[in-house]
Amino acid sequence: MATSCGFESHRPHHSYTTTKGCLLVSVARICNLKVDSNVTNKARPMASADQLKALIKAYSQGDDAQFHSIAMQIAAGEARVGHGKLAEELRELIDKSRVRLPSAGPSPIPMARPRGEIADLLTVTYPHIHLQDLVLNSKTRKTLDRVIREHKTIRDIRAHGLAPRKKLLLVGPPGTGKTMTASAIAGELSLPLFVVRLDRLITRFMGETATKLRLIFDAISQTRAVYLFDEFDSIGSERGLGNDVGEIRRIVNSFLQMVEQDASDSLIIAATNHPAILDRALFRRFDDIVQYSLPSTNEIQTTLKFKLAGAKTSTKVNLVKLSALAKGLSYADVTRATGDALKHALIEGRALTHADLLSSIAERKAALLHRNSKR
């Protein structure tokens, strides 16, 4: 059904989770069979406790990619010790769990997809991640928790003539979790995440960008969701800078006016790596300015633990040494380094080693130095 704001609403298909549940039960039964079987336990590489915990966590959080990755690791472990039939049965269940079937029951979130002219300005996703999936310092987590609590009780707040915090400016270096925060807030509130496409918003024709900005704010007022203006400095740069042109002033003025007038229940999130070039008047329009920074060694260690959950290692991984080496990298860099190490071990057909992670982190550090030298 089409709404007046140019969005098409329908229900997502989620009943494929039933097959995922069957797969989870099958893994549990396999573990029991390993204990009860006449075959000695030494012959069967029982799935590790970490793998089982990670599998259940991924299932409960709806993280399909992590769920299937861990399930495939368990199946591969069975194949390596010659249990081909068992491994094949697991793979068949995994393949079935990937098929999304139409849902017979109601969906918790009506999906909204942009239609018409607004479709060129917004992309939509339905995140399943939550704040607990992000590594954040205590101050940032407290700020975001407050925003989420207010929106979970928005009816009571509105009934008392009050308004929830709904306009956030996220500030910090690249790769520190600003975009992921927008996804986590949407996931916590079971709302769609609309990302503004700046390549389609900003044009060289006088007045056209402001007109498109009006379309976006019309959508904000009519379809409750999380709206992300990433790389916000592209449209919010200081009026009067040396490279300023009349169109930039008009865009900033339009945004200031529209964000001031917005009284919807949607959340507006702007993210920037360059707060120094933002127009000073913009800062007063946001309810909270959330600062992000590069992770500490403890936060890097927590990130590594999360990313390595369920991974098979052939040697002891020293997270303290790895996090010290990775100091100076962003969360995104640490995640990429971990992924590179896991892929390398997978291609080699062996378990992950401490040396794999050392090499990947060193490679990322070298790339960072190269990027900085080009500035």
* 149 and 276 inside one domain: yes
DSSP letter string, 198-219: HHHH--SSTTHHHHHHHHHHHH
- 275-316 pLDDT per residue, tens: 888 888 889 999 999 999 999 999 999 999 999 988 888 878
* 51 and 124 inside one domain: no
* 312 and 275 inside one domain: no
Range of the domain at 336: 297-373
Provide the β-strand partners of residue 269.
168, 228
Q: What is the pLDDT of residue 86?
A: 79
From 97, 129, 152, the end of a domain falls on 97
- Note down pLDDT in tens along the chain; length 375 residues: 444 456 655 444 444 445 556 666 666 555 554 444 444 444 444 556 777 777 787 777 666 667 777 777 787 777 777 777 877 787 778 777 655 433 333 333 445 566 667 888 899 999 999 999 999 999 999 999 999 999 999 999 999 999 999 999 999 999 999 999 999 999 999 999 999 988 788 776 667 778 888 999 999 999 999 999 998 887 755 545 444 455 677 788 888 999 999 999 999 999 999 888 888 888 999 999 999 999 999 999 999 999 998 888 887 889 999 999 999 999 999 999 999 999 999 999 999 999 999 999 999 999 888 777 666
Is 212 domain-assigned? yes
* 200 and 273 inside one domain: yes
Is 2 domain-assigned? no
* 278 and 220 inside one domain: yes
From 33, 65, 97, the end of a domain falls on 97
Is 7 domain-assigned? no
From 54, 70, 97, the end of a domain falls on 97
* 89 and 117 inside one domain: no
40-44's contacts with Cβ under 8 Å and 24+ in sequence apart are 43/81, 44/78, 44/81, 44/83
Q: What is the pTM of this model?
A: 0.67
* 126 and 176 inside one domain: yes
* 279 and 141 inside one domain: yes
Kindly state the tokens that stand for 223: 């379809």
* 129 and 41 inside one domain: no
The burial of 123, by beta-carbon neighbours within 10 Å (0-12 exposed, 13-18 middle, 19 or more buried), is given as: middle
- 78-128 pLDDT per residue, tens: 777 777 787 778 777 877 765 543 333 333 344 556 666 788 889 999 999
Is 348 domain-assigned? yes
Q: What is the pLDDT of residue 331?
A: 94
Q: How many domains in the chain?
A: 3
CATH number of 277's domain: 3.40.50.300
Q: What is the pLDDT of residue 373?
A: 66
The burial of 124, by beta-carbon neighbours within 10 Å (0-12 exposed, 13-18 middle, 19 or more buried), is given as: middle
* 127 and 180 inside one domain: yes
* 54 and 189 inside one domain: no
* 136 and 211 inside one domain: yes
Q: What is the DSSP letter of 118?
A: G
